[in-house]
Structure 1
Amino acid sequence: MNAKDLFIALFVPLSWGLGFVAAKAGLGHFPPLLLMSLRFFISSILIVWFLPIPKEYLLKIFYISLVSATLQYGLTFSGLKILDTSTAALLVQTEVVFGIITAAIFLKEIPTKKQLLGIVIACSGTIILLGTPSVEGKALGASLVLSGAFCWSLGQVMVRGLNGKVGGFTLICWIGIFSSPQMFIMSLLIDGNPIPIIISASVINWLTILYLGIVMTILGYGAWFYIISKHAMPVAMPFLLLIPVSAIIGAMIFFGEVPSLEVMFGGFIIILGIGLIIIEPKHFSKKNNVG
């Protein structure tokens, strides 16, 4: 991987990790569903003009949007509103564990022994994290984030049903087009009239929306799709282990959150387990670099 690709690969976890920080800031004003609705509206409206309409797959993408966007982000960011940023960012990493499990159940993909060991380690770290003082009295928040992670894994199984017929950017765009009004309507039903909230939003509030919609979604996913098009997936995936790291550092800088030693230990065990699942050392050689 050359210097340019390394920079782009590092930008992905940085933009996504700081997305937790931006979302946490935005949740101080916007309800979770409204925040995500505005995020996907911004990202989709900016790129839809440059992408094809996947006419044959719109219904499937609609169903995917319900699970992998509306349910997932609604649950995850409702949990983020309750939890510390670092705790939520670490719990979100269980998406990988749920992904292996749901793939085994629905796609009959049998996990390897190394993946099973990684699942056990990651689950142990999750149990440690759930027992820390930072989660005490916030079981609802943790449950919401874990439920969101499970919805993400179900969404990935549904995406597999497209058989790669829809490009990554096109899929992200149309998921956003469908999920934005879904989440807006749900926010209207749950939180009440969103118009006063939107009108009273400050410049900082809108900057968080722009970060989530442009930097985290358009630029972040754009960088990710570039990396996985140039390099083998096992080479690209380990960079995602830096997402909680950048989220924790960002929360420390912007919010003054200092995770306890227990949180750091539990988080380390989670990342260790996830790393065992996704890292394939045999792929780290020049001959496997497709860039």
Structure 2
Amino acid sequence: MVVAAVFFGLMGVFVKLGAEYFSSTELVFWRTLVGVVTLGAAALWRRERFSTPLLRYHVQRGLIGYASLLLYFYAIAHLPLSTAVTLNYTSPMFLALLSVALLRERLPKQALAGLALGFVGVVLLLRPTLSSEAWVAGLLGVGSGLLAGWSYLHVRELGRQGEPEWKVVFYFALISTLGGLLLMLFETWHPVTLENAWLLLGLGATATIAQLAMTRAYKVGRKLLAANLSYLTVVFSTLLGVGLWGDPLSAAGLAAMGLIIVSGMLASRR
């Protein structure tokens, strides 16, 4: 999970650099296309079967996850890297709320306390954003966390049904790639050149490595420990944002990130 966190942070760097040449829709397309090719090739090599009786769940998860990824990449392109990543990592909070609203689950007191802390953190983190021209990106960043939490409900259901991890990741990448092709009918493709091709390769490679490392961590390790370690992505992204772009770090911003991280940890302890 530490490896996954490092590469998810690096993925954010490639998204931010790539936003100079490509739209968010294009970046998501290229990111997921690499996943389709690599996972598909690996499955063919192992002679895996692509058919599944759970296609409906895959489609629902894929569409919701794709929308979340679009919002996330847009937020990365228009906000400090640490802010965008932290807003996306509100997903455990929304997963807990959706579990109550849609599945009628009961949350323990510590999870409820965590949700309260988390929303305080979101308000603190968004305060400077809402008073600037980047307020739309801030709200879309929160939206990416909400949709990611909703997507994880479907991932959890697919896991309960015994669906292999590679199929969950593959179908998500496939549906997202097809969604990108559809949306690009209404946008203009930007040319891939020697100057920017390395950004797309870096984006696809870091995202794929991170996804595989995360999947492996949840498969062989303790899920709660893996979930808590995933928040290292916020730490690595913050360091990368400061080092590469000189992103400012205020005391209020650091406190907000801390509250959201603690909230996610508490919300996961169910």
Match among 254, 257, 266 for residue 264 of structure 1: 254
Match of 1:242 among 214, 220, 232: 232
Q: 2:12 aligns with which of 14, 20, 28?
A: 20
TM-score by length of 2: 0.90
Structure 2 counterpart of 1:285 = none
1:98 aligns with 2:98: no
1:276 is displaced (CA, Å) by 2.7
Cα distance, 1:271–1:135 mapped onto 2, change above 3 Å: farther
RMSD of equivalent CA atoms: 2.0
Measure, in 2, the Cα distance between the counterparts of 1:210 and 1:246: 21
Check conservation: 2:111, 2:269, Cα contact below 8 A: no
Question: Alpha carbons of 1:153 and 1:118: their partners in 2 closer, same or farther (altered >3 Å)?
Answer: same
Per the alignment, do residues 123 and 160 of structure 1 end up closer, same or farther by CA in structure 2, a change over 3 Å counting?
same
Write the mapping of 1:115-154 to structure 2, written as runs, cut at 5 A.
Answer: 115-132=111-128, 136-154=132-150
Q: What are the Cα deviations for residues 105-160 of structure 1, in whole angstroms up to 9, with x where unaligned?
A: 11222111111111111111111111126863321001111111111122122233
Question: CA contact under 8 A between 2:59 and 2:175: conserved in structure 1?
Answer: yes
Partner of 1:230: 220
Deviations 1:24-54 (A, max 9, x none): 1111111001110111111211221332303
Matched, 1:82 2:78: yes
Q: Which of structure 1's runs of 4+ aligned residues deviate more than 6 A?
A: none
Structure 2 equivalent of residue 38 of structure 1: 30
Retained in 2: the 8 A contact 1:39–1:213? yes
User: Paired residues, what number?
Assistant: 264
Q: Judge conservation of contact 1:121–1:273 (CA < 8 Å) in 2.
A: yes
Mapped contact 2:111–2:267 kept (Cα < 8 A)? yes
- TM-superposed CA distance for 1:21, in Å, is 1.6
Distance 1:47 1:133, change over 3 A: closer
Asked whether the 8 Å contact 2:6–2:233 carries over to 1, the reply is yes
Q: SS of the residue aligned with 1:29?
A: coil
Query: Is residue 55 of structure 1 aligned with residue 46 of structure 2?
Result: no
Give 1:102's aligned amino acid.
Answer: L
How far apart are 1:202 and its partner, in Å? 4.2
Partners of 2:227 and 2:156 in 1: how far apart? 18
Find out whether 1:193 has 2:188 as its counterpart.
yes
- C-alpha displacement at 1:94, in angstroms? 0.9
User: Helix, strand or coil for the counterpart of 1:257?
Assistant: coil
Conservation of the 8 A alpha-carbon contact between 1:12 and 1:221: yes
Structure 1's unaligned 5+ residue stretches are 1-8, 281-291
Distance 1:226 1:253, change over 3 A: same
Residue 211 (structure 2) pairs with residue 214 (structure 1): no
Percent identity over the alignment is 18
For structure 1, which segment, 25-34 or 12-21, has the greater mean C-alpha deviation from structure 2 after superposition?
Answer: 12-21
Segments of 5+ residues of structure 2 without an aligned counterpart are 44-48
Counterparts in 2 of 1:202 and 1:84: CA distance versus 1, 3 Å? farther
